[in-house]
Amino acid sequence: MATGYLQVMVTTQTALPLENVKITITDSATQQVLTDKTAYTDNSGQTPLIPLDTVDADYSLDEENTTILPYKNYDITIEKDYFIRGQILGAQIYDGETTVQVISLMPRPTDFGNEFESELNRGDIQKLFTVEPNLQNGTNDYVLQRVVIPEYITIHLGRPDASADNVTVPFITYLKSVAASEIYPTWPENALRANIHAQISFALNRIYTEWYRSRGYNFDITNSTSFDQKYIHNRSTFRSTDKIVDEIFNTYVTRTYTREPYFTEYCDGKQVTCNGLKQWGTVDLANQGMSPLEILQYYYGDDIVINETNNIANVTTSYPGQSLRRGSTGQNVRIIQAQLNRISDNYPAIPKQTVDGVFGATTENAVKKFQRIFKLTADGVVGKSTWNKISYIYVAVKKLAELTSEGETISDGSYPGRAVRRGDRGINVLIVQYYINVASQYVSTVSEVELDGVFGPALERQVVNFQRYYNLSADGVVGAATWDKMYRLFLSTQEGVTLPQPTPPASRTYPGTLQKIGSRGNDVRQIQQWLNGVAQGYPSVPTVNVDGIFGPATQSSVIAFQRISGLSTDGIVGPMTWNKLYNRWQTLTADGVILSN
């Protein structure tokens, strides 16, 4: 019996990783639960590779095989408290291949049932998992002016005139599903590349020519193989084909001296014949040593070329043209470092680094971790596919988790006109959740909440904590005064101005500037007094001279305090360290541990 591998990645609807999600595997044929294969996701939302029995790869390479499936099917159950259970039926496992299953879980609101099934042959309630993009002027009005790789594509789950649902997904997600549905991942790489080039161009031709939009339909393409290419919503994909899509998703086939993506008609060449590319034929041609372009030219003509565009809607790619690696320096390295640092806020397994434009060991390590998470070759080199993937994920987390896109807020901060309270849903709740998460970095009594757009008890508790800290009416309702205070705190973190402070007592509030080596004055003296008080309850924190000079001794004492408090040990007193230090000193004073100040 051969072995294949499964890896499951679970996120929220806003693309944030979900940790400690239980994954249960069942043999589809026997319905036996494989208890020894149960796995849990890590802080990147991923399981380890799960080895599973399957059939030999030879069956997927034999064009004459019509009796034995070249893969084995498994059902996947995804469970986490407070989320609707997910189930994927019939994930395909191939010999020696890694099957990747990405799924987004929905919070369990009171008006939905307890389960959600996402069957590979059924798309009846997939809208629950779809985030509708905000596309200005419509996708096709824009791409008609030039060839643009769209960020999203809308697929009709049936024949054009059939009564069926539409689903809008990222274009890359669509391509990965098509590749996994149309061809076998065990085929030679050049055959896979030629087929995926054809699949990309087929979809772009439909979008560019407004094939369906111009006929009055409200979608870009169908998933009916009688008209278009096969797409299965929420299906598992494969690492080999995913890797190729990530690398070439912004390429397309054209004829020489023409602009539009070529209509790359194709068929399997065995059960169905056509005038274009034969999928099984590409295997033979690849085995003869043909390149992807040569394979395409064999079927479509010698004037076929592969074009590339960096016009990717809402995604900044601008690949510099050469790989970045250890020893590289300059602005492009700085861009990658900054973007990886932002991505690490949502994927904490990626280590933070100094944005200095120098590609050293720390940057290489961060790149490798990113590549492992997103199923790229983990060589620590930022080539085209890694560059594009970093840019794509960076924009995704900026928009979905930070309510910003490239630094521009989507809200002007003005009060929405009505109080936001428990039970509310939507964008105003999402903004409040983001403001609370910003506040949690500066107010020790406030904790982060999930960005799900639902005002539940967890958010209400943190709003109350925020209100108490700022001496507001602690009712858990975000009225005009609370909204204004939250927004001003958020704005101060963006612009570097003085943070809004709690009303009492004025002498204990953060001064608005970082206190570090070289700082002098009453603020430093206050820090030193608190450190000496805390040292009475925590001997690992060394005492210092109260002289108002922030020198090495004060820095060492601050680092020791940060270490016992779970803070970043940088020896700098910012708002979080200041507030935590004051609160710890205040608690010890109230408990009688501190005998004198």
Helix (H) / strand (E) containing 586: helix 575-590
Locate tokens 């590319």: which residue? 277
- pLDDT band of 586, cuts 50, 70, 90: confident
Q: Which of 376, 350, 374 is nearest to 362 (CA)?
A: 350
Parallel, antiparallel, or unpaired: how do β-strands 404-405 and 408-409 relate? antiparallel
User: Does 2-120 match 331-409 in CATH topology?
Assistant: no
Six-digit token string for 41: 């996701």
- What CA–CA distance (Å, rounded) separates 39 from 239? 19
Confirm or reject CATH 1.10.101.10 for domain 427-504, answering yes or no: yes
pLDDT at site 13? 63
| % residues pLDDT > 70 (the chain) | 81
Sign of the alpha-carbon dihedral angle for 267, 269, 272, 275 = positive
Least reliable range by pLDDT among 290-304, 356-370, 483-497, 549-563: 483-497
Q: Helix, strand, or coil here: 3?
A: strand
Provide long-range contacts, Cβ within 8 A and 24+ apart, for 135-140: 138/213, 139/207, 139/220, 139/313, 140/207, 140/210, 140/213, 140/220
* pLDDT tens track for 177-212: 999 999 999 999 999 999 999 999 999 888 877 788
pLDDT at site 112? 35
pLDDT at site 483? 87
Considering only CA atoms, give the Rg of the chain: 28
Give me the architecture of the 2-120 domain, per CATH: Sandwich (2.60)
* pLDDT tens track for 475-494: 999 988 898 888 777 766 54
pLDDT at site 106? 75
433, amino acid identity: Q
pLDDT at site 155? 93
pLDDT at site 593? 56
Most confident range, picked from 7-16, 22-31, 484-493, 568-577: 22-31
- pLDDT band of 17, cuts 50, 70, 90: confident
- What CA–CA distance (Å, rounded) separates 100 from 238? 5
pLDDT at site 392? 67
Q: Answer whether 92's CB lies under 8 Å from 66's CB.
A: no
Residues 366, 370, 371: CA angle, nearest 5 degrees: 115
pTM for the full predicted model: 0.53
Q: Does the structure show a pLDDT above 50 at 503?
A: no
- pLDDT band of 502, cuts 50, 70, 90: very low
- 115 vs 46, 87, 221, 474, 478, CA distance in Å? 21, 8, 29, 36, 32
Torsion of CA 148, 335, 241, 1, to 10 degrees: -160
Q: Does the structure show a pLDDT above 50 at 596?
A: no
pLDDT at site 259? 67
Query: Domain coordinates of the chain in residue numbers?
Result: 2-120, 139-308, 331-409, 427-504, 515-590
Torsion of CA 393, 395, 400, 405, to 10 degrees: 170
Q: Does the structure show a pLDDT above 70 at 146?
A: no
- pLDDT band of 401, cuts 50, 70, 90: very low
Q: HSE, CB side, 13 Å, CA atoms: give it for residue 1.
A: 8
What is the arrangement of strands in the sheet containing 237-238, beginning at the earlier edge strand? 50-54, 2-11, 98-104, 237-238
Q: Does the structure show a pLDDT above 70 at 264?
A: yes
- 217 vs 150, 160, 174, CA distance in Å? 18, 8, 19
Q: Label residues 218-256 b or e (16+ Cβ within 10 Å = b).
A: ebbbbbbeeebbebbbbbbbbbbbbbbbbbbbbbbbbee
Which one is predicted more confidently, 310 or 277? Answer: 277
CATH code at 515-590? 1.10.101.10
* pLDDT tens track for 115-141: 333 333 333 222 222 233 333 333 333
List beta partners, residue 169: 153
* pLDDT tens track for 206-250: 887 778 876 778 888 999 988 899 998 888 899 899 989 988 888
Separation of CA 160 from chain center: 32
What mean pLDDT comes out for the span 353-374?
90
CATH code at 331-409? 1.10.101
What mean pLDDT comes out for the span 34-58?
92
- What CA–CA distance (Å, rounded) separates 215 from 203? 17
- What CA–CA distance (Å, rounded) separates 489 from 497? 9
Which one is predicted more confidently, 46 or 13? Answer: 46
